[in-house]
Amino acid sequence: MAGTRAAIRYAKAILSLASEQNNAEAVNADMKAVALTVAENKDLRDMLQSPVVRSSVKKSVLMQVFNNTNALTGKLIDTLIANKRISLLEAVAVNYNRLFDELQGTQIATVTTAVPLTDDLKVKVLAKVKELTGKQVEVKNIIDESILGGFILRVGDIQYNASIANKLNKLKREFALN
């Protein structure tokens, strides 16, 4: 819990600094890359969490992996290492992306489907969600074959479940009650 609060504080600080320097969008792209890279690479994640690996080694590895980033991203890594908080790097990046999206008035709409969304369907989902929320929306498609068909739409704290698996479960409950 304390790590999460600290990650949010670092994310707010770097967003504030990036906004002042008109680099918020470039740093956002860096933070997306950092979050994705750390999330997908178990060895990198383990190295960041390890108390055995020296800070100098962590910094050297991170600077090689993220060598084409904005100067503010490099300063963030330096600050996290100096404060012995480099294990929070992924959480800081994720929180930065969320805070940046909020600042821009953009929301993430998560659409879970059994098969990948077509471009035509993605445009329709974007239009409908923008109509409902009045905000700019990005669509993130998650493929989950267990829902059988239909979709599950999540925007913020709103969820609409139109999956076939959900409809079958409702039918099952109705028959169980009778």
Average confidence (pLDDT) per 10 residues, the chain, 178 residues:
80 94 93 93 92 92 90 93 93 92 83 86 80 79 86 81 85 83
pLDDT score at 100? 92
Q: What is the pTM of this model?
A: 0.71
pLDDT score at 164? 85
CB burial class (10 A; 0-12, 13-18, 19+) of residue 52? exposed
What is the bridge-based pairing of β-strands 136-143 and 150-155? unpaired
pLDDT score at 178? 67
Cβ pair 112, 151 in contact under 8 A: yes
Task: Report the chain's C-alpha Rg in angstroms.
Answer: 20
**Nearest Cα to Cα of residue 109 among 143, 142, 147, 148:** 142
Determine the Cα–Cα distance for residues 35 and 15; give it in Å rounded to an integer: 15
77 phi-psi bin (left φ>0, alpha ψ -120 to 50, beta other): alpha
pLDDT score at 3? 63
Q: Specify the domain boundaries for CATH 1.10.520.20 within the chain.
A: 2-102
For domain 2-102, give the fold: Peroxidase; domain 1 (1.10.520)
